[in-house]
Amino acid sequence: MAKTLNTSGSNTIRVTLSHQSIRLLDSLAEKGIYGRNRAEVAGRFIDEALQKFVETPHLQLQKQPSDKK
């Protein structure tokens, strides 16, 4: 699965996960399906979950003044 180009920039965050979740992220990273390391895999899952959340009628994001489009 090809990684899509991130044209919106990125920020770094720190999250705390269970040992089980870390093992799962590492296992997926070894397979290279969602990323090459646990951070890429976790970022991909977070991005996809947030996108799905916004697409459903739960939340509408407000454009920030710094957003350009």
Asked if the model's pLDDT at residue 5 lies above 90, the reply is no
| Mean predicted lDDT score pLDDT of the chain | 85
Q: Are 34 and 49 in contact (CB under 8 A)?
A: no
Q: Would the pLDDT of 69 be above 90? A: no
The tens digit of pLDDT for each residue in 29-45 reads 999 989 999 999 999 99
